Amino acid sequence: MKLGAAAALVSSALLLTAACGSDDNSGLPGAVDFSADHIECAPSGSLLASGSSAQANAMEVWVNTYQANCDDSQINYKATGSGAGIQEFLQGRTAFAGSDSLLGDQELADSRAVCRDGGQAIHLPMAAGPIAIGYNLPGVDDLVLDAPTLALIFDSGITRWNDPAIAALNPGADLPDLPITAFHRSDGSGTTDNLTQYLHGSAPEQWPYEPNKNWTGKGGQAADGSSGLVGMVQQNAGAIAYFELSYAHQNGISTVAIDTGAPEPVAVSVENASSAIAAGEVVGTGGDLALELDYATREPGAYPIVLVTYEIICDKGNNPGTLDLTRAFLGYAAGEEGQGALAEIDYAPIPDGIIEQVRDRVAGMS
Amino acid sequence: MGTPATAPRKNTVRLGDRVFSGLSKGSGIALLVIMAAIAVFLTIRAAIAIAHNEGNFLTTFQWDANASPPVFGIAVLLFGTVVSSVIAMTLAVPVAIGIALFISHYAPRRLAGIIGYVVDLLAAVPSIIYGLWGALFLVPHMTGLFDWLDRFFGWTGIFAYDGTPARSLMTVGILLAIMILPIITSVTREVFKQTPKAHEEAALALGATRWEVIRMTVLPFGRSGIISASMLGLGRALGETMAVATVLSPSFLINASLLESGGGTFAQNIASQFKEAGSMGRDALIASGLVLFVLTLLVNGAARLIIARRKEYSGSL
Amino acid sequence: MSQTTVTEEPPRPRPSVRPTTLRRPRLPGWSRGALLLGSAAIGTATGLVAGLESRVQWGLIAALVFVVGGFALTSAVEGRRQAVDRLAASLVWTSFLVAVLPLASLLWETIARGIPGVSWYFLTHSMNGVLSWQDGGGIYHALLGTVQQVLLASVIAIPLGLLTAVYLVEYGSGRLARAITFFVDVMTGIPSIVAGLFILSMWIMMMGFGYSGFAGALALSILMMPIVVRSTEEMLKLVPNELREASLALGVPKWRTILKVVLPTAIGGITTGIMLALARIAGETAPIILLVFGNNMINGNPFEGAQSSLPLFVYEQWAFGTESAYDRAWAAALVLIAFVMILNLAARAVARWKAPKSGR
C-alpha cells in the first residue's frame, strides 16, 4: 500500500511535468520587449556561469535578451558571489565567472589547468556600478559627506548625526541629534572590497585598514547581502549603509552626495560614475584588461565610489562545447546593444577605448 | 529458535528472515559507509586548512581564511553557537513539552487534532521564512523586552543593552527557540500518545489527579523520547543558517552582553563567508563545520548516556 | 515584627457543624474565567501604569498573575494536590498560548503576504523573461524541481533509514550497531552546506557528473537519513515487547512480525518522523545552490541539466530586494508550505488507514 501511495505521488509528479508549465511570459502586463537588432547568435546550446551578484541585474537583462533573440539557447548565470564563481570556474564547471575583484596569483596559476591550449584566465571589464551610500534621516533630504567623514562614520569615529564634521559639510541642513547606526555587509562581498578601496585610497589616515572583502572597520552593525542592508536602512532611523545604486533606486532610499574636492558635491548617478570610469586605466598585462580607478579623483562630476565588474574567461577558451555560445553571448554583452542597455538599470557602460579591446578579446577566443 | 532438521516450511521462514535481516543490516552498513566517507572527507579538508592556519584555530578572534597566510579561529563561532543554542533549548524544550501535553492530555479532542496538525505544518516552514519574519517582525518587537531586561538586570553585564537594533545572540536564541518548537513538540506529542493506556488508567484508579498521572506515567515513559526530540531540535538549531544570517548582526568579537550585537555561529559564518571563499577559505569553513560536528556528537553522546541509564524502554505493562 | 507580641492566640472555635459531604470544597466553574479576565486586566493595568511599550510584556504579566493566582486560590480552597494539578494545567495552557502567539504571527504573515501572489499563472509559468524588478512570473520550474528532488531524496533515504532503524532496534547489537548509532548521531549535526560540499566533491568533481536535480537529491537524502533513523528508532522502541512476543509465540517469523506487527503499530510516529525529515529537506537552500545550480527555465529532467527549487527561488527573490521580488518570495514560501502540507496530509491518511485500530 505504501508502494501504491508512492506510485501515486510519482505519477502525479510526472503529470505535473507533462501538464501545464510554460516558459512563455511574453504575455505579462508590463513584459519587457527583449527584441534586438544585431545579435549574432551561436548555434543552439546551453552554458553555465556564476559569480558576482553586483552584476546580476545586468546579466539578467543580457541573458534574457540573448535568449529571446536566439532560439534554443539557454544561459544560466547564478549570482552566488565572486569567490564562489571563481572557484566553479577554476574547477572547469562553468564557461566564465563574474567577479568584482581580480584573481590572485595562485588563482591565475590554477586557471592554466582548465584553460585550453596553454591559455590562462583574463579579466574583461563588462559594466561598472556606482555604489550608493544610502541613509535614513527623517527631515534630511540632501546630505553631503566626504571621504574622511565617511571613513570615521563607518569606523565608529563619528557617532551622532549632529557631529560638527557632518554639520560643516551640510551648512543648511537641520541635522537631528540622533545616534548613527552604520551598517555593513556581514558576508564577504566585492561591494565591501570596492568601498574600502575608496576609503583607503582617499582617506588613508581615517581608514588605515587594507581593502578587504570582509569588513575590517570597528563597531557598527552587520546585515546579510545588499537586500539585508536596504532593509536595515528602511527600518532604522539614523541608519547609513552602502549598496549598488539599483537597490537605492528601487527602494526609494536617499543617497549621499560625495564632496570629492571638486567645486560641487557629486551625487551618485550613472553619468557621474561613467566620468570616474573614463579616467580608469588598464593595468593588466599580456592581454588582460584589469582596470585601476583613481579613487581620489577631484574631477568635477566624477562619482568616485565605483565598482567595476568583470567576466573572467580563458583567453583561448575552456570547454569546446560551450565556446561558441560564450563567444556569441559575451560578444553581444560587450557590443553596442549590450552596453547600451546598461544605463537604464543603473550601471555605467565601459568607456569606448576599453570596451573595444574587450570585444577583441572575446572574438579572439578560439 | 530453529532446530536444524525440520520441515521445508521452516526453511522458507528462515530464508525470509535472512533476507530481511540482511537487508536491514545492509542498509545500516550503507549508512555507515556514507557517514564514514563524509567524516573522512571533512577531516582531510579540515586538516589541510588547519595545517596552513597562521592563527590559533581555537582561540583566534578573526576569520581571514583567504588572506595569503590564512588566519582564522573559531572562538567566536563556538561561543555564539553554544550560547544561542542554549538559549533556544532552555526556552523551547519546556514549552514544547507543555504544548505536547496540551495536545495529548489537556486540549479538547477536536482542538487537539487541529493544533497537532498546525504544529506539524509549522515544522515545515522553511527556515528562510523564519528569517524573514524574524527580521521584519521579531527584531523590532525585541527592543521593548531588551529595554526591560536592561532596566532590571543590566547590572549583571549579560543583559546590558545600548538601544541599537536588537540583532543579537539573544534574538537569535529566541528565534531558534520558536523555530525548533514545532519539531520538538511534534515528536514529543507522538511519544506521549504512545503511553500505555493501562498505566494511565491504573494511576487514575488510585485517585491521582491529572498532573499526577502525567508525572507518574507519561513523563517517565516519554523521557527518552523527549531527549531524542530535543536532540533533533538541537541539531536544527546548531546547524541553522538562513534564519541566523538574517537576524544576527555578526562580528568577530565576543560581546559580554547577550543583548548587544556581535558574535556569530558556525553555520551562519559558513553561509556568509562561502560566497567569497577561495579554496583555502572553503577548507577553513569545512574545518569549522567539523567542529560543529564534534559539538553535536558530544551533546548527543551525553543524551545517549542519560537515556541509557534507564534502558528498559519497552512499553510493557 | 520588631516587637514580640505576648498575646496568645485564642483557641480556634471548633466547627460547630461537621461537613455533610465527603466532597472536597471546589472552586466554582466560573472562577477560572474570572481569574483569566482579572489577570488580563492586571496585566493591562500594570503595562499602562509602568508605561511598558511591548504588548507582549503585558501578556507575560497577565500570564504570571493567572498562574500564580490560580495556584494560590486553589491551594486555599481545594488543597495542595489539587493546586499542583491546577498549576500544571495553567502552565500547560500558558505555554501553549505563549508559543501560539509568535507561531500564529508567523503563519499569518506568510499567508497574508503570500496569498495575493498565488494564482494559476504563478503556478504554471517559469521566470523565463521576467526581470527581478518586474511584477509577474511564476514558480512552475521551481515547484517541479522541488517535487522531483524531494521525491528522489525520499526514495533513497526512507527505505535506507527505515531499514537501518529496524536493524538497530530489532537485530542490532554489538559493535556494528553502536558504530551506526554513533554515526547517525554525528549526521544530525551536519550543516546542510557541508553535505552539499561533500556531494559536490564526490559526485561532481571526482566522478565528473554535471549539476543536476539528482545531485541535489543525493545531498538532501544525506540530510534526511539521520532524522528518519532517529525518529523511527524512537518509535520502534515504544512498541510494547508483549506484541512482539505474542506474535513470535504464535509462530510468526520475525521478519513478518516486524512488517506486520511492529511497523504498523508505530506507523503514526514513523510517519511524523518522515514528514519532519521531508519538511526539513524541502526547505533546504544551501546544497541546492551548490549542486542543482538554479535555472529560470523549466527543466523536467532531474538527471541532467540545471534545475531550480522552491527554497532556492525564495532565497533568490529575497536577495533581489525589490518589492515585486518580495511578493514572489512570500507567495513561493506559501506554496512550499502548502506542498509540504499536502504531503503531510497524504502521509497521515496512509498512516491512519494502515495503523491497527486502537483505543485512541
Q: Measured between CB atoms, which of C189, C253, C272 is closest to B297?
A: C189
**Higher local confidence (pLDDT), B1 or A337:** A337
C-alpha cell read off for C111: 499567508
Residues A198-216 pLDDT 10s: 999 999 999 999 888 889 8
Does the pLDDT of residue C1 top 80, yes or no? no
Q: At what angle do helices B8-52 and C140-166 cross, to 10 degrees?
A: 120
A30 is in an annotated binding site: no
Do A117 and A137 have their domain in common? no
A189 is in an annotated binding site: yes
Looking at the domain assignment, is residue A37 inside a domain? no
Q: Is C349 on the interface with B (CB under 8 A)?
A: no
pLDDT given for residue A13 in this prediction: 57
Looking at residue C327, its amino acid is D
Q: How confident is the model at residue C360 (pLDDT cuts 50, 70, 90)?
A: very low
Mean pLDDT value across residues A64-71? 90
Do A64 and A149 have their domain in common? no
A82 is in an annotated binding site: yes
Spell A16-40 as b/e; 16+ CB within 10 A means b. Answer: bbeeebebebeebeebbebebeebe
A54 is in an annotated binding site: yes
Task: Indicate the number of domains in chain A.
Answer: 2
Percent of chain A scored above 70 by pLDDT?
95
Do A125 and A145 have their domain in common? no
User: How close B131 gets to chain A, by Cα (Å)?
Assistant: 11
- Residue C164 to residue B39, Cβ atoms within 8 A: no
Do A344 and A357 have their domain in common? yes
Tell me which chain A residues have a C-beta less than 8 angstroms from the C-beta of B140. 235
pLDDT given for residue C206 in this prediction: 84
Mean pLDDT value across residues C331-345? 86
Instruction: Give the largest Cα separation in chain C, rounded.
Output: 96
Looking at residue B20, its amino acid is F
* CA A58-A59-A62 angle, 5° bins: 90
Percent of chain A scored above 90 by pLDDT?
50
Q: Is B55 on the interface with A (CB under 8 A)?
A: no
List the domain range (segments joined by +) for residue A124: 45-129+280-292+306-364
Q: Is C209 on the interface with A (CB under 8 A)?
A: no
pLDDT given for residue C240 in this prediction: 87
Q: How confident is the model at residue C20 (pLDDT cuts 50, 70, 90)?
A: low
Q: What chain B residue is nearest to A223 in terms of C-alpha separation?
A: B249
Q: Measured between CB atoms, which of C84, C95, C163 is closest to B211?
A: C84
- Residue A187 to residue B278, Cβ atoms within 8 A: no
Q: How confident is the model at residue C181 (pLDDT cuts 50, 70, 90)?
A: confident
Do A121 and A139 have their domain in common? no
pLDDT given for residue C21 in this prediction: 64
**CA B261 – CA B253 distance, rounded (Å):** 10
**CA A232 – CA A53 distance, rounded (Å):** 19
Do A86 and A145 have their domain in common? no
Strand partners, B263: B251
Looking at the domain assignment, is residue A171 inside a domain? yes
Are the C-beta atoms of C58 and B148 separated by less than 8 Å? no
Contacting chains of C (3 CB pairs or more, <8 Å) are: A, B
Looking at the domain assignment, is residue A298 inside a domain? no
Tell me which chain A residues have a C-beta less than 8 angstroms from the C-beta of C134. 28, 30-32
Mapped onto helix, strand or coil, the DSSP state of residue A128 is strand
Looking at the domain assignment, is residue A10 inside a domain? no
**CA B189 – CA B119 distance, rounded (Å):** 10
**CA B6 – CA B18 distance, rounded (Å):** 17
Tell me which chain B residues have a C-beta less than 8 angstroms from the C-beta of C159. 27
**CA A204 – CA C2 distance, rounded (Å):** 71
Q: Is A142 on the interface with B (CB under 8 A)?
A: no
Q: Which of A79-88, A352-361, B279-288, C186-195 has the lowest mean pLDDT?
A: C186-195
Q: Which of residues 2-61 of B touch C (CB under 8 A)?
A: 13-14, 16-17, 19-21, 23-32, 34-39, 41-42
Do A203 and A165 have their domain in common? yes
- Residue A227 to residue C319, Cβ atoms within 8 A: yes
A26 is in an annotated binding site: no
Tell me which chain B residues have a C-beta less than 8 angstroms from the C-beta of C315. 128, 242
C-alpha cell read off for C203: 559526485
Looking at residue C296, its amino acid is N
**CA C189 – CA B231 distance, rounded (Å):** 10
Do A320 and A255 have their domain in common? no
Percent of chain C scored above 70 by pLDDT?
89
Tell me which chain B residues have a C-beta less than 8 angstroms from the C-beta of A83. 66, 274-278, 281
Residue A301 phi/psi, 5-degree rounding, is 70, 20
Mean pLDDT value across residues A225-250? 91
- Residue C125 to residue A250, Cβ atoms within 8 A: no
pLDDT given for residue C52 in this prediction: 65
Are the C-beta atoms of B6 and B14 separated by less than 8 Å? no
Tell me which chain A residues have a C-beta less than 8 angstroms from the C-beta of C315. none
- Residue C283 to residue B124, Cβ atoms within 8 A: yes
Burial class (CB within 10 angstroms; exposed 0-12, middle 13-18, buried 19+) of A133: buried
Find where cell 514544547 sits: B96
User: How close B104 gets to chain C, by Cα (Å)?
Assistant: 10
Looking at the domain assignment, is residue A1 inside a domain? no
Residues C26-58 pLDDT 10s: 777 787 788 888 888 888 888 778 766 666 677
**CA B19 – CA A365 distance, rounded (Å):** 59
Q: What chain C residue is nearest to A252 in terms of C-alpha separation?
A: C322
- Residue B42 to residue C198, Cβ atoms within 8 A: yes
pLDDT given for residue B13 in this prediction: 56
Residues A309-335 pLDDT 10s: 999 999 888 888 889 999 999 999 999
Residues of chain B with pLDDT under 50: 1-8, 312-317
Among A346, A270, A264, A273, smallest CA distance to A306 is for A273
Q: What chain C residue is nearest to B121 in terms of C-alpha separation?
A: C341
User: How close B236 gets to chain C, by Cα (Å)?
Assistant: 8
C-alpha cell read off for C311: 527554497
Do A259 and A168 have their domain in common? yes
Q: Is A5 on the interface with C (CB under 8 A)?
A: yes
Burial class (CB within 10 angstroms; exposed 0-12, middle 13-18, buried 19+) of C263: buried
**CA C14 – CA C19 distance, rounded (Å):** 12
Are the C-beta atoms of C285 and C311 separated by less than 8 Å? yes
Alpha-carbon distances, residue C301 vs A18, A44, B200, C313 (angstroms): 11, 19, 53, 18
Question: ipTM value of the model?
Answer: 0.86
Looking at the domain assignment, is residue A55 inside a domain? yes
Domains, in order of start, for chain C: 27-109 (no CATH), 140-353 (1.10.3720.10)
Residues C268-292 pLDDT 10s: 888 888 887 888 888 888 888 889 9
Three-state SS letters, chain B: CCCCCCCHHHHHHHHHHHHHHHHHHHHHHHHHHHHHHHHHHHHHHHHHHHHHCCCCCCCCCCEECCCCCCEECCHHHHHHHHHHHHHHHHHHHHHHHHHHHHHHHHCCHHHHHHHHHHHHHHHCCCHHHHHHHHHHHHHHHHHHHHHHHHHHHHHHCCCCCCCCCCCEHHHHHHHHHHHHHHHHHHHHHHHHHCCCHHHHHHHHHCCCCHHHHHHHHHHHHHHHHHHHHHHHHHHHHHHCCHHHHHHCCCECCCCCCCCCECECCHHHHHHHHHCCCCHHHHHHHHHHHHHHHHHHHHHHHHHHHHHHHCCCCCCCC
Which among A107, A177, A214, A226 is the top mutation candidate for probing chain B, defined by the most B β-carbons within 10 Å of its own β-carbon? A214
pLDDT given for residue B4 in this prediction: 45
Tell me which chain C residues have a C-beta less than 8 angstroms from the C-beta of A91. 205
- Residue C269 to residue B31, Cβ atoms within 8 A: no
Contacting chains of A (3 CB pairs or more, <8 Å) are: B, C
Do A220 and A268 have their domain in common? yes
A142 is in an annotated binding site: no
Looking at the domain assignment, is residue A4 inside a domain? no
Q: What chain C residue is nearest to A17 in terms of C-alpha separation?
A: C300
A191 is in an annotated binding site: yes
Tell me which chain A residues have a C-beta less than 8 angstroms from the C-beta of B251. 222
**CA A269 – CA B164 distance, rounded (Å):** 31
Q: Measured between CB atoms, which of B181, B191, B197 is closest to C359?
A: B197
What is the DSSP secondary-structure string of C68-135? Answer: HHHHHHHHHHT-HHHHHHHHHHHHHHHHHHHHHHHHHHHHHHHHHHHGGG--HHHHHB--TT--TTSS
Do A196 and A121 have their domain in common? no
Q: Which of residues 125-144 of C touch A (CB under 8 A)?
A: 125-138, 140-141, 143-144
**CA B295 – CA B278 distance, rounded (Å):** 26
User: How close B286 gets to chain C, by Cα (Å)?
Assistant: 7
Do A185 and A269 have their domain in common? yes
Tell me which chain B residues have a C-beta less than 8 angstroms from the C-beta of A223. 167, 249
Mean pLDDT value across residues A237-257? 92
Domains, in order of start, for chain B: 79-265 (1.10.3720.10)
pLDDT given for residue B220 in this prediction: 86
Which among C130, C163, C207, C348 is the top mutation candidate for probing chain A, defined by the most A β-carbons within 10 Å of its own β-carbon? C130
Residues A5-20 pLDDT 10s: 555 665 565 555 555 6
**CA A28 – CA C122 distance, rounded (Å):** 11
Mean pLDDT value across residues A292-304? 87
- Residue B273 to residue A214, Cβ atoms within 8 A: yes
- Residue A28 to residue C144, Cβ atoms within 8 A: no
**CA A154 – CA C67 distance, rounded (Å):** 48
**CA B244 – CA B267 distance, rounded (Å):** 8
Looking at the domain assignment, is residue A150 inside a domain? yes
- Chain-centroid distance, C-alpha A276: 16
**What is the CATH number for A242?**
3.40.190.10
pLDDT given for residue B7 in this prediction: 44
Tell me which chain A residues have a C-beta less than 8 angstroms from the C-beta of C117. none
Residues A140-181 pLDDT 10s: 888 999 999 999 999 999 999 999 999 999 998 889 999 999
Are the C-beta atoms of B276 and A81 separated by less than 8 Å? yes
C-alpha cell read off for B29: 552498513
Tell me which chain B residues have a C-beta less than 8 angstroms from the C-beta of A187. 245, 271-273, 275-276
Does the pLDDT of residue C359 top 50, yes or no? no
Strand partners, A255: A134
Q: What chain C residue is nearest to B273 in terms of C-alpha separation?
A: C193
Are the C-beta atoms of A308 and A128 separated by less than 8 Å? yes
Q: How many CB pairs under 8 A join A and B?
A: 82
